[in-house]
Amino acid sequence: MINLTDVIAPSFYRVHWDIQDGKHTYYDLYGGRGSCKSSFVSVEIVLGMMQDETNGEFTNAAVYRKVKDTCRSSVFEQIEWAIDALGVSDLWESSVSPMQHTYKPTGQKILYRGLDKAKKSKSVKVSKGYIKYLWFEELDEFAGIEEIRTVQQSILRGGPKFVVFKTFNPPISINNWANKYVAEAREDSYRHKSNYTTVPAEWLGPQFYVDADYLKETNERAYKHEYLGIPIGLGTNIFELLEIRTITDEEIARQEKIYQGQDWGYYPDPKAFVRCAYMPASQKILCIDELGGRKIRNTAMSQMIIDRGYNDYSISCGADEIESILDFRDAGLVANKTNVYPGSRKYSYEWLQCRTLVIDPARTPRLYEEVISYEHEVDANGEIKADYPDGNDHWIDALRYATSPMSMRRGESA
């Protein structure tokens, strides 16, 4: 026998009983890191399907991530955990091709899908019963509520009752569509916000609290966003934690670790190089120097870097031009491809947004101009788009690449 209190965090007890009583259709669960919201949903789906079968109802589930390639290491593994935590591993069968879980006594299925095109959801079919449970994980990664509605209209058919979960960590901007969505009152929706402080300490482990306390002491703003799930940004400005001032040579000389990034281009897009330092104690990024421009060949760019003496540290480069990286290596530079995977652009941006950028306009004028003018785009209805605009952001990209060894480290994304 498994006690549900051993697998469901206390803050979700009321949500569980609300689902059991069938009071709502939509359950929007959001909050900070370590709040156990995804664990809760995975338990509810597995448990709910088994309970439905006992009551003579044949139900299935569909689980969505924006990018299907991320399902295997996230929601699929989360469902695996729930099956094991409930002590029913002998009753479930897993498959990665196609990606699904099957309840062996009846054949009920949990299906996994990506959503590069919402209309593809029309192809999601089950041979028996209907899809009662629908889960959108990392809601803010989807294009908007219209995309979500398209899926719901296709999936939520043929049954008397549905349970739709939407889980996410609130984006940093309060005007992000996902934050605005959960702020709208709906009678058919149960909104629940949680954070790690309501989770049994032994579930998270001591290191989790050490990291949380450290960030709270050194960067309370980032702590509120990452651990408490508070959207700390305002308006359309993407970078708000800025310290615009003179940076002295003495200050640069004191830095222990230097990071460098290179964004490729030629014309009309420029090549862009940034050299910076990271100060972990204060959660600040010191922008030291920049190089680059339009119509600069790789040989000339590498020579600029060498002439400045910046061949003393490795360079993290844009991954889209392997030949250019090889040109840098031929010139004697230690050049590496930046790690790229689904969601990496978003993660690296949000990591930067949670750190203070110390910029001296005299040292990095082009980076300065890009940072202070970089804003989220607004659609025809005045709604702020969640995506980060791709355009006048070349030295920003170089800064993202430079700091990618930290921002792309597991557990470090905002």
- Whether 321 sits among the annotated catalytic residues: the reply is no
What's the distance, CA 286 to chain centroid? 25
| Torsion, Cα of 168, 174, 175, 177 (10° steps) | 10
Cis peptide before 98 (omega within 30 of 0): yes
Which position among 44, 137, 138, 290 bears the catalytic label?
Answer: 138
3-state secondary structure the chain: CCCHHHCCCHHHHHHHHHHHCCCCCEEEEEECCCCCHHHHHHHHHHHHHHHHHHCCCCEEEEEECCCHHHCCCCHHHHHHHHHHHCCCHHHEEEEECCEEEEECCCCEEEEEECCCCHHHHHHCCCCCCEEEEEEEECHHHCCCHHHHHHHHHHHCCCCCCCEEEEEECCCCECCCHHHHHHHCCCCCEEEEEECHHHCCHHHHCHHHHHHHHHHHHHCHHHHHHHCCCCCCECCCECCCCEEECCCCHHHHHCCCCEEEEEECCCCCCCEEEEEEEEECCCCEEEEEEEEEECCCCHHHHHHHHHHCCCCCCCEEECCCCHHHHHHHHHCCCCEEECCCCCCHHHHHHHHHHCCEEEECCCCCHHHHHHHHHCECCECCCCCECCCCCCCCCHHHHHHHHHHHHHHCCCCCCC
The 10s digit of each residue's pLDDT in 17-76 is 999 999 999 999 999 999 999 999 999 999 999 999 999 999 999 999 999 889 999 999
For the chain, the average pLDDT equals 91
The 10s digit of each residue's pLDDT in 317-368 is 999 899 999 999 999 999 999 988 777 888 899 899 989 999 999 999 999 9
Q: What pLDDT, on the 0 to 100 scale, is given for residue 412?
A: 46
The 10s digit of each residue's pLDDT in 164-198 is 999 999 988 776 889 889 988 788 999 999 999 99
Sorted by sequence, the CB contacts under 8 Å of residue 338 that are 6+ apart come out as: 261, 316, 317, 318, 319, 401, 404, 408
pLDDT band at 414 (very low <50, low <70, confident <90, very high): very low
**Residue pair 60/46 in contact by the 8 Å Cβ criterion:** no
Task: Tell me the percentage of the chain whose pLDDT exceeds 70.
Answer: 94
User: What mean pLDDT comes out for the span 214-232?
Assistant: 90
Side chain identity, residue 86? L
User: What mean pLDDT comes out for the span 280-304?
Assistant: 96
CA gap 9, 41 in Å, rounded: 11
The 10s digit of each residue's pLDDT in 112-137 is 999 876 555 556 888 899 999 999 99
pLDDT band at 411 (very low <50, low <70, confident <90, very high): very low
pTM: 0.67
Residue that is written with structure tokens 């202070």 in the block: 372
Domains of the chain: 4-207 (3.40.50.300), 242-407 (3.30.420.280)
**Is pLDDT larger for residue 259 or for residue 411?**
259
Residue 284 has pLDDT above 70, yes or no: yes
User: What mean pLDDT comes out for the span 107-112?
Assistant: 96
Residue 413 has pLDDT above 50, yes or no: no
pLDDT band at 266 (very low <50, low <70, confident <90, very high): very high
